[in-house]
Chain A
Amino acid sequence: MAKTSGNQETPTDQREVYHHRGDNLPEPGQHDDEVLAEERVTAYWRANISLLLKLLAVWFTVSFGFGILLVDWLNQVSLFGFKLGFWWAQQGSIYVFVLLIFVYVFLIGKIDRQFGVDDADDDNKPQGKR
């Protein structure tokens, strides 16, 4: 398979390729190394890290940035009875944290499937006896 260095565009047939391989090859998990070509794992990991860095940048900005470093500057603005910096520190940052985790779940799920390493098959088989 071509090296897909973390781009989000998924060739539509890739999932089928994976399921086809899944039927014939030894179980994933026990023989991850054989199932997945080394470079595919590397590319998957790179895509994961790049996603993590983007999300953590947002995490940092809303809490340490808006909530602490820029708080005085933002406090000059008042919205709905809140000074903006204060609102970020005590309310806004928490809402963004919740959103961030679900955005992560959604995007990493897409990346998992793109690289054929998702765990969708894990429930169908009895645990520990595959």
Chain B
Amino acid sequence: MSAQLLTYILVGLTFALYIGIALWTKASSTRDFYVAGAGVHPVANGMATAADWMSAASFISIAGIIAFSGYDSSVYLMGWTGGYVLLALLLAPYLRKFGQFTVPDFIGERYYSKSARVVAVICLIFISFTYVSGQMRGVGVVFSRFLEVEITTGVFIGMAVVFFYAVLGGMKGITYTQVAQFCVLIFAYMVPAIFISLLITGNPAPQLGLGAEVNDGSGLSVLEKLDQVLVDLGFTPYTEANKTTIDMLAITLALMVGTAGLPHVIVRFFTVPKVSDARKSAGYALVFIALLYTTAPAVGAFARLNFIDTVHNTAYEEAPAWVKTWEGIGLIAWLDKNRDGRIQYAAGRAFEGAPAFVEGEGEHGQKLLGNAPTDNANEVYVDRDIMVLANPEIANLPPWVIALVAAGGLAAALSTAAGLLLVISTSISHDLLKKTLRPAISERQELLYARIAAAAAVCMAGYLGINPPGFVAQVVAFAFGLAAASLFPAIFLGIFVRNMNREGAIAGMLCGLMFTFAYIVYFKFINPAANSADNWWLGISPEGIGSIGMLVNFAVAFAVSRFSKEPPPQVKALVDDVRIPSGAGVAYHH
């Protein structure tokens, strides 16, 4: 059977499974819709959280990022896992005890203020939309590559599936679909990783294979070989840093704190029955996430080694088929600078900007480029996103593995998209309508509004997926930076500082937010030419500025709260109640 037919069958089967689960778990109340009735088992919630968290970017891009930046990529690995320690220790149990539906709920009630709630809603919607457009795009890319349909058609199919289970099932439907999606995605990630690890080192565990000896008779370990090969080609060694220490620290901290402050992750901990379950659940979630995140460095290193081995100094006509397939959709390009018909790979950009293909074919059958060549030896443009998707082909794995990777990529994108759409719709129907603008609506109406908002958000996400704003890739730093500088400090202070008041929290959120926003906008949009280490404040890149934003937030919040009125007694009682684990079941009915 061909890879494409297998892919159709496997993707069809998984979609049928997701829709079946949605029908089986239809939401009947707002409590079902928002928090799955708070009856999800901690292990199931751990899997759902892992699927929610691991997006198309984690599945498709992270190994590629590691492959091409080596040690520097450690900031993502530590940042996106270490955040769960903060979540488990500092936020999740207390928010579960608080027992409402959304993150703005906590901020609104803890700071006895509708303005605080609205500020939180704005942060949440901005963060979530940034994210969700990337997911829909991921769905489109997987469809176009593996099922050979237009990206637009792919996005529509993805929208239809998400629409079905998010609008119908709410959090309940999403939770159990995410459990299924986690199983699909982790299986799809591990199988090729194990195959490739066996192929390159003979060790079936990728985590150990990364340190094992390459079985090419050189006697070097994978990392030693990579260091050596890269130095020969003019790169920095794989295991050494390009980034400065201060920037590494700042980015890691911003990603950790940002992860802990992401609303669609936090809200998952509202769905378990008890406080102790919320803690356990964070632990299980990290186990499931760590499976992928400890495998990714191995996949990245193997892929880089494999890529250099197969491509460097190979005549274009003899290059393996996958090179041409990916060239076909513009993710690989080759500019034969020295006209020897061989592909040379080296440090530096092969040419300026993204590949701009022109009509016609070169003498070796390659696609021609209109880009101006640079004066280094590198002739290859390669989009790092293809590393995971092309891996099965690079390593000559059987067709069913390719089908599996397609299904896994879709599972990763759809699960995250659904989780994000839910927090967007919830914050609109619950925080904006029910709690702010129209408190008189009944539960039935609120549920209806939640469904309408989810439907509207799906369409909006689809639109962004089809017409991606050029800046999507650049605004990812935003999502984490803003979560780190606004939501995390507000929630943290709300739990750990009993006397923190409305004035302090709002001023802190706004200052942290504006500082981070301004810094990123300046370097990414207003003056991108200045975006280099020489001009950064304290040498901190826009990706890492969220950690300074967080400090600004804390400082302002403490200063302002000292000079304004203490919170009222019922708010202090709320803080005391949140700190005690027992009685989470009743907290909701207060």
Contact = CB atoms under 8 A, between A and B. Distances in A.
B586 A119 contact: no
A112 B583 CA distance: 13
A117 B573 contact: no
A104 B279 contact: yes
A102 B582 contact: no
B112 interface: no
B297 interface: yes
Contact of A68 (B73, B249, B580): B249
Interface in B249-306: 249, 252-253, 256, 273-276, 279-280, 282-283, 286-287, 290, 293-294, 297
A28 interface: yes
B78 interface: yes
Contact of A127 (B38, B84, B88): B38
A101 B283 contact: yes
Nearest to B280: A105
Contact of B239 (A59, A75, A123): A75
Contacts of A105: 88, 276, 279-280, 283
Contact of A122 (B66, B77, B274): B274
Contacts of B77: 89-90, 93-94
Interface string A40-51: 010011001000
Nearest to B239: A86
Interface in A49-91: 52, 55-56, 59, 63-64, 67-69, 71, 75, 80-83, 86-87, 89-91
A97 B580 contact: no
B450 interface: no
B585 A128 contact: yes
Contacts of B586: 27, 29-30, 127-128, 130
A121 B586 CA distance: 12
B82 A80 contact: no
B580 A117 contact: yes
A contact patch SS: helix
Nearest to B573: A33
Contact of A63 (B82, B273, B584, B588): B82
B136 interface: no
B222 interface: yes
B78 A117 contact: no
A29 B207 contact: no
Given A55-B89, A68-B248, A28 B582 contact: yes
Interface in B77-118: 77-78, 81-82, 84-86, 88-90
Please give me the 10 A-B residue pairs with the lowest Cβ-Cβ distance, nearest first: A29-B583, A81-B211, A81-B221, A89-B74, A101-B283, A29-B586, A127-B585, A90-B297, A128-B589, A82-B211
Contacts of A45: 579
B279 A101 contact: yes
Contacts, number: 176
A122 B212 CA distance: 49
Nearest to B74: A89
Interface of B: 38, 66, 71, 73-74, 77-78, 81-82, 84-86, 88-90, 207-208, 210-213, 221-224, 239-241, 245, 248-249, 252-253, 256, 273-276, 279-280, 282-283, 286-287, 290, 293-294, 297, 573, 576-577, 579-590
B69 to A, nearest CB: 12
Given A98-B287, A119-B274, A82 B210 contact: yes
B120 to A, nearest CB: 24
Contacts of A48: 579
Contact of B212 (A36, A67, A81, A118): A81
19 contacts: A41-B576, A55-B89, A67-B252, A81-B212, A91-B210, A95-B294, A98-B286, A98-B287, A102-B283, A104-B283, A105-B88, A105-B279, A109-B276, A117-B582, A118-B581, A119-B274, A122-B582, A123-B273, A128-B585
A30 B588 CA distance: 10
Contact of B85 (A64, A91, A101): A101
A81 B586 CA distance: 54
A39 interface: no
A108 B279 contact: yes
B29 to A, nearest CB: 12
A52 B82 contact: no
A36 B85 CA distance: 29
Contacts of A75: 239-240
B30 to A, nearest CB: 14
A122 B206 CA distance: 42
A74 to B, nearest CB: 11
Contact of A93 (B82, B222, B240, B573): B82
A23 B544 CA distance: 52
A97 B579 contact: no
Contacts of B275: 119, 122
A119 B211 contact: no
A117 B239 CA distance: 48
B273 A104 contact: no
Contacts of A118: 276, 581-582
B294 A119 contact: no
A81 B213 CA distance: 7
Contacts of A33: 573, 576
A97 B82 contact: yes
Contacts of A20: none
B532 to A, nearest CB: 21
Contact of B582 (A29, A67, A108): A29
Contacts of A122: 273-275, 582-585
A75 B297 CA distance: 17
A80 B582 contact: no
B582 A71 contact: no
Nearest to B297: A90
Nearest to A100: B85
With most chain B CB atoms within 10 A of its CB, the pick from A28, A67, A80, A97 is A97
A98 B88 CA distance: 10
A68 B582 contact: no
A81 B84 CA distance: 29
A60 B166 CA distance: 38
A86 B78 contact: no
Given A87-B211, A101-B283, A119-B274, 19 more contacts: A27-B586, A29-B584, A44-B579, A48-B579, A59-B82, A59-B85, A63-B78, A63-B256, A75-B239, A90-B73, A94-B77, A97-B85, A101-B85, A105-B276, A105-B283, A117-B582, A119-B275, A119-B581, A128-B586
A3 interface: no
A52 B478 CA distance: 29
A101 B71 contact: no
A94 B294 contact: yes
